[in-house]
Structure 1
């Protein structure tokens, strides 16, 4: 082999190895957040773990590990006082060594919901592994080293409400009672491999556990309250102590490997339903720590980071909302304050609703259940409160701020219950579960419709308007506000279709249909905008963060580019006037708006704005929206709805089904010329098994019918059907309409 041939071979081999490394990195690092230094700030640096009820924020310190933890049932307040979501406590491990360290690495692997830390100190390699298990209902922390006897230090708990911790054997514990009578308790069971333990005084009061010369440490952390999600028991149930004893006793009988395997299996049963590839990023970008990657994002983009943020939203929903528990609040379930912004409440004028936008399309239907259960749980107290404010009406509505007990505060948000009702309908629309619709959703849809039947104002000309409404969160209070009209239209549409699906209540169904027909319709104003109010007073220079009058575009279905093109055009004019920059959650909503307008490039521009690193943690209504180093959405401050809205927005860009058809790649931006997605859901109980596109065109679609409903597809290009389904040209698209069988896969390809 001559020198030129050898040089060519070496270059070729190098390129092959680089390509192999790129592939390996894309498979192993793109579902991870990581940094090369410990976290310092709770809101911006620490990484979240959770199991839908309890959760923690992990700092990863070397001299001191700090995990701030929560239980999402710990609230002050009651049925008449909104109260606030509370911090629960902190776990500290103070290590004896203060020597320097190197090769530090901490990561959150969202493919496994696993937090790992490693570093070198005194010539010893230390490693840690943390997770929060749903099947075993506790947090598990494991500390290892490659040298025996490497761990010495003190382990202590701190109660966020001041109770002093005690130590019995190797169990550290605190317990207390809030002013509303709620009992709470946290217990940390410390398991050692070799080494010694003893009880000593905690410098902050109470006791702590001293560890000397342990090879390994495993901590089982459990927390609980006596909350019960039932008004019939006055929102109280079993005391926390026996719950925690059962949890710790059951966990102690399992090996660490068994606990980890059970956790990963449970988590991946939800997370692994979906995968997303929006294009490969460069090796240089993928290798960067997460904060550096955010800072570098504007330098040429990072499609892999955009996909990571999508999956991070799914991770956060799984971690903060599991069946049998409470819904995700303004901060999911992570909170380090007893007086968090807006009380860490269930905010009813978009925020809790946005939390659940991705639940159904991103194939996490079970994670939707806590929100639906909450709606059902607070119905009776809502009826009592509504009767006091609006005597003589049937049904119920609510105020803007609320808690798990039905307590509420701030302004009456009269269309709020109708917006809640949309979630009830959406769960049915995606699952087609008639039993759920009949026995759970329909009675609530009907009673909320009855409220509006009684509350609406009939004008002499036959027009029906919502009285004295407000377009959140600005402008006058008056009749016929567009936001209210669109939400009521959505409620009535969902009720009508529910009655039709069940074949019941025809007389009342027809009455509601007549009311819907007479609702004041959306109006187009003097500068081509969709009017926010019945009076044409919209200011083209108004850039308020809320765009409430576009509810009918998203998440409603009254406005679409296909069925109501003139209204869609007016919505676009309004959206352009509002501008692209805003708070974090507002930008997330705008991604969804532009996706529904089928403008993928503008939706992607909002994505680029959203992926802006933010350093401030205070409240800012006007500027500074984006994301923190830990990928939490910054309002600022942290609000989790922006993370969920972002995930929903990308789903809308790839698949839409809010009309009577499934649209494939309705808003694909030029920035994603090649990609693939597996596992998205569409209304009608269809699953997108596989969708691949190249050079901006679909080359493979595999869709599975889970319910046997008729299917209508709209594709941007003509494909061949394995089942010989004929295509019908419609405008610039192609439509395929066909009956399906339960469990059958239908394939379309070039």
Structure 2
């Protein structure tokens, strides 16, 4: 029966009008853009044989602003959606990131056969297909960045698309029914206005309405459109409220509906694929099993190197989906949230989490996705400069609390004094990878200089004549494994290493721009007087100024190893003794921790050139965790491959992706180092499209764990240093020309 229904469906496609066929041909032509430009890669999919029964089983989609979790039900479909700016709070109070609404589609398709739902990563399209009562149904979903809208289209092998569509406001606003559309609007406690609009189009059949829904009967093809927005005025200091979104949404909906579906889909695939297809990773052959089965097999110890590659690309998919130019940054949950009181406000924590979200942005060739975070940091500085809060008040530069919202408002849980210095590291890194001198001069350098001026004035001398932070911290605990310890610890390694990194970035930026030579010299002297990394009594890299580290402390934070990653103060080739101390500290910290903690450890072990220990962390992360487990101190993945903190927290996904890239390519030491931490588990493989600092695109192939070929394409002419194992070579690159090296 399934085969016949499927054949009927396929044959029915031939019956559409010539105009529809032409539109599909045009769409296919546009979507071939990636292949024509040699960007396309083989499809990578997450697929399942059952609908999602829990939010942590649903599959995510997004365009950086509008996000949705697709459950793909057969009796009732639920689409839970978010919009990235819907949040309570102000510039003075933290509030929480909010869920927006739900779409329910009542199909009443019982006892389906041949069920399959899948998410294709490289074009960001979800599909679900099954047969019910002899009819083959096929649904597809995507969220378009160009059109700023979500679309879903349903087809059937016979004239049997019957569905009731409902739109619900999480905040209990009333749904209006107008023509073929549903909508709701409301205002949050902080006076932020919000609105969602849904519109339906049906080919064939009829549509009618109730006081809260629209009913479609006997349609051949059924298409749903959704737009949503708020009155948030992005990055405008303390005046964060703008115009109501109504007019903007009406225009967005009108534009989306007016354009043929095939064209909208093709433009979406081109837009998303242009970013996603820049990088391809091959580590092995995928088994013919659904994603959940593969994850459970991996948890039981079965080898699946292709799953490592799939999760790497999933992180890139999530970053593109949750962070696009012109929007706000990906928060603790990206843009996906189903709780009005989410864990840790689902906002931005600056002692590791928001930074980790953007670790993969530059190295995995997604610099455009970095901009929302950079924009937010600048706004946070604008809000905090001149604050009436005595803890934030500074004569030079600015500081911030540990957790902040999209407006710049704090949680006031704890002042995170070096947080602003860590945040502006991302500005320097963006320059290093892109070589954008205008960005360095106009945006990065002013931030680096003002924070350098702040810390130069804030450091004090200790009894040994070394400059230290007078009120240091090592997130999120004190000596003696005390989680509740909020005392200050002068000279804590975390503060010292971040400030050292800030000074180093300022010095290098000043040299690039040939400016502030006298002040640069002064800061070079200040940096030399700083208390540096220390080796303690059991060979560890000390976390505290005093040698009080506990070798049984397995705390989730790796704060005193900032200098290894994402800093560059400690490296095996340049500071081997400190690197040995870092290894001793990492061994003592252990393999446990939350998902983001494990993600950080992958990167640290990669920087320490231990690919096998980095891979131990990968195996620690890729473990199935049921959706019902939302507490504890553990790592793992839910069925939809969301990282567990617990509960869900997306930074572990991003930390993993960055870590895999660091295992295959590093460039922080002024060299392009290929395969610096290749594990035994990845005997054969290739990766293309990674970026090295200096704006060099790198492709690497290896066999039997030995490099076979590497190619490099620079954005400007120059001589570059390449390292592989103990070999160093100088290569001359011509801008835009690929140079291959065979070994």
Displacement of 1:269 = 0.6
State yes or no: 1:36 paired with 2:29: no
The answer to whether structure 1 residue 439 and structure 2 residue 442 are counterparts is yes
1:570 equivalent to 2:571? Answer no
1:262 aligned residue: 267
Tell me, what secondary structure is at the counterpart of 2:709? Answer: strand
| DSSP 3-state at the match of 2:592 | coil
Cα gap change, 1:392 to 1:93, in 2 (>3 Å): closer
Q: Are the equivalent residues in 1 in contact too, given 2:117–2:128 (CA < 8 A)?
A: yes
Mapped contact 1:668–1:696 kept (Cα < 8 A) = yes
Q: Note if contact 2:57-2:627 (Cα within 8 Å) is conserved in structure 1.
A: no
Give 2:452's match in structure 1, choosing from 425, 449, 452.
449
State the partner residue of 1:722.
none
Give me the whole-angstrom Cα distance separating, in 2, the residues matched to 1:643 and 1:232. 31
Establish whether residue 743 from structure 1 lines up as the match of residue 742 from structure 2: no
Indicate whether 1:708 and 2:710 are aligned. no
SS in 1 for 2:119: strand
Structure 1 runs not aligned, ≥5 long: 1-26, 202-206, 717-732
Q: Please point out which of 252, 256, 263 is paired with 1:251.
A: 256
**Do residues 195 (structure 1) and 195 (structure 2) align?**
no
In the TM superposition, residue 226 of structure 1 has moved relative to its aligned partner by 1.1
1:734 has 2:734 as partner:
no
SS of alignment partner, residue 473 of structure 2: strand
User: Which one of the candidate residues 633, 640, 654 is aligned to 1:644?
Assistant: 654
- Work out whether residues 386 and 398 of structure 1, in 8 Å CA contact, stay in contact via their aligned partners in 2: no
Residue pairs, 1:72-151, within 5 angstroms? 72-95=84-107, 97-148=108-159, 150-151=160-161
Q: Secondary structure at the match of 2:447?
A: helix
| Structure 2 residue aligned with 1:21 | none
Alignment pair present for 1:492 and 2:503 = yes
Residues 237 and 407, structure 2, Cα contact 8 Å, conserved in 1? no
TM-score (norm 2): 0.92
| Residue 172 of structure 2 corresponds to residue 162 of structure 1 | yes
State the shift of 1:660 in Å.
1.2
Q: Residues 526 and 232 from structure 1, CA distance in 2 versus in 1: closer, same or farther, beyond 3 angstroms? A: closer
Task: Provide Cα deviations, 1:123-182, integer angstroms capped at 9, x if missing partner.
Answer: 00000000000000010001110101x112210111011101011100100000111111
CA deviations 1:376-433 (Å, max 9, x no partner) are 1222211133872265531101001101111001100111001101101000010111
- Distance, in Å, in 2 between the alignment partners of 1:138 and 1:595 is 40
Residues 530, 574 of structure 1: 8 Å contact kept: yes
Alignment of 1:332-731 (within 5 A): 332-385=334-387, 388-389=390-391, 391-409=393-411, 410-459=413-462, 461-475=464-478, 476-617=487-628, 619-623=630-634, 625-688=635-698, 690-716=699-725
* Conservation of the 8 A alpha-carbon contact between 2:700 and 2:709: yes
Cα drift, residue 275 of structure 1: 0.2
Quote the Cα distance in structure 2 between the aligned partners of 1:531 and 1:439: 37
Aligned length: 694
Q: Deviations over 1:562-600 (max 9, x none)?
A: 000110110000000111122111111111111011011
Residue equivalent to 2:322: 320
What's the RMSD between the two structures over aligned residues? Answer: 1.5
SS in 2 for 1:86: coil
User: Which of 217, 220, 227 is matched with 1:222 structurally?
Assistant: 227
Match among 175, 185, 188 for residue 178 of structure 1: 188
CA distance in 1, matches of 2:42, 2:736: 34
Question: 1:10 maps to which residue?
Answer: none
- Partner of 1:384, secondary structure, is coil
TM-score scaled by length of structure 1: 0.91
Q: How much has 1:280 moved relative to structure 2?
A: 2.5
* Structure 2 unmatched ranges of 5 or more: 1-39, 479-486
Q: Does 1:308 align with 2:310?
A: yes
Mapped to 2, the partners of 1:707 and 1:221 lie a distance apart of: 44
Contact 1:674/1:695 (<8 A) preserved: yes
Query: Is 2:54–2:627's contact at 8 Å kept on the other side of the alignment?
Result: no
Per-residue CA shift, 1:442-466, capped at 9, x if unaligned?
Answer: 1111112122122222346531101
Distance 1:573 1:745 in 2: 41
- Cα distance between partner residues in 2 of 1:353 and 1:670: 29
Give, in whole Å, the separation in 2 of the partners of 1:526 and 1:260: 62
In the alignment, the residues of structure 2 paired with residue 673 and residue 246 of structure 1 have an alpha-carbon distance, to the nearest angstrom, of: 53
- In structure 1, C-alpha distance between the alignment counterparts of 2:316 and 2:589, rounded to whole Å: 29
Moved more, 378-387 or 563-572: 378-387
Please list every run of at least 4 consecutive aligned residues from structure 1 whose deviation after the TM superposition is greater than 4 angstroms: 27-30, 616-619
Farther-moved stretch of structure 1 (469-478 vs 79-88): 469-478
Residues 392 and 399, structure 2, Cα contact 8 Å, conserved in 1: no
Deviation, structure 1 residue 739: 4.2
Shift of 1:710: 3.2
Report what 1:720 is aligned to.
Answer: none
